Amino acid sequence: MAELDGSILVVHPDRKAQRALQRVLAATLRTVVVLDLIDDARLALRDGTPSLIVMASRVRATDAGELMLEHARVQGCADVVIVHDDPAVTGEEVFGFAGLEHLVTSTMPVQAEELAVTAAKLLRRDLFGLEKYLGWGAIVRDTDVRSTSDRQRVIDDLAQGLEDMCLGRRHQASALLAADELIFNAIYNAPIDDDGRHYLREVSRADERPLVGRERPRVRWGCDGRYLAIEVTDRFGSLDAATVVRYVAKCTRRVGNVRAEGAGAGIGMAMAYAATRQLVYDIEPGRRTEAIALIDVRPWPPGAAGALPSLHLFIAGA
């Protein structure tokens, strides 16, 4: 058994998936230990503490999988990526996993891109910036939102940019929905005062209010022909991972598909999630939250429409 300290531990019962995961993760230049049985993984933890655990959702859904991760966290391994590739495990089950922060739902070869970036961010602790998801040379545009009504100007500018890029109507609609919801959250839900009160939540959406200083969200976006990435950053860092998971779980009421349903707190975040291929949050508590909506603009394979999107929650300092 290889020494686990500083390694990547993969627990997946499918041999083909094991080979693919090992090939991708080996690019990190970390030792990759691959096991197919949860009992073997629990025994392996006696040999050290991995820096990252990558686990199949069907393994995570078992009591043994839960116990193994509890043991790993006690040892100091906090980063766990769940690879969800089994339709027998429902979205509701997945979002019921304790401590869920990284959910990969894409299939190869897109899964390779997603896993490579996720592993690199976790291992290097270099979290922020949409550039990590785009190819070299992609042009990135940026603007600040200067007032509550300025949100519409930003959305209109984005819409014109997407039209100029000749993106399909479906991709345009998804991007504009995600951007609008993320900007809305950054304007009205992110700001807090010294007492921790979200003081803009009660402001009428019909009222014009200037945004000053750190109240101004920053919006950036770019496309490399694979992904359209839309980044919205607030300067408060008031969002927490558990809140995101609770809100996006509103989308998972139907096995194997995503639908935004219900009403009330968090439905906007759920709608943004449902509109993406990946939704990423980079959170520096008390300082900033960076939300990145990734829209895959390539032709979708059969059955991909309506599939559960990936979700990633990176916490600075964790």
State the pLDDT at residue 262.
40
Higher per-residue confidence, 202 vs 238: 238
Work out the mean pLDDT of the chain and round it to a whole number: 89
Q: State residue 170's pLDDT score.
A: 92
Same domain, 98 and 178: no
> What pLDDT does residue 299 have?
80
Same domain as 293, residue 216: yes
pLDDT at 264: 44
Residues 135, 118 within the same domain:
no
Are 134 and 233 in the same domain?
yes
Do 112 and 244 share a structural domain? no
Lowest mean pLDDT among 114-123, 207-216, 241-250: 241-250
Q: What is the pLDDT of residue 301?
A: 63
For the stretch 264-286, pLDDT in tens is 447 889 999 999 999 999 999 99
- 12-18 average pLDDT score: 94
Phi, psi angles (nearest 5°) of residue 250:
-60, -20
Q: Are residues 293 and 277 in the same domain?
A: yes
Among 77, 107, 124, the domain boundary falls at 124
pLDDT of res. 259 = 46
Q: SS in 3 state form for the chain?
A: CCCCCCCEEEECCCHHHHHHHHHHHHHHCCCEEEECCHHHHHHHHHHCCCCEEEEEHHHHCCHHHHHHHHHHHHHCCCCEEEECCCCCCCHHHHCCCCCCCEEECCCCCHHHHHHHHHHHHHHHCCCCCHHHHCCCCCCEEEEECCECCHHHHHHHHHHHHHHHCCCCHHHHHHHHHHHHHHHHHHHHHCCCCCCCCCCCCCCCCCCCCECCHHHCCEEEEEECCCEEEEEEEECCCCCCHHHHHHHHHHHCCECCECCCCCCCCCHHHHHHHHCCCEEEEEEECCCEEEEEEEEECCCCCCCCCCCCCEEEEEECCC
Q: Are residues 79 and 195 in the same domain?
A: no
Are 115 and 143 within one domain? Answer: no
Indicate which CATH number applies to the domain containing 255. Answer: 3.30.565.10
Express each pLDDT in 120-136 by its tens digit: 999 999 999 999 999 99
Kindly tell me if the per-residue pLDDT of 304 is higher than 70: no
pLDDT in tens, 46-64: 878 899 999 999 999 999 9
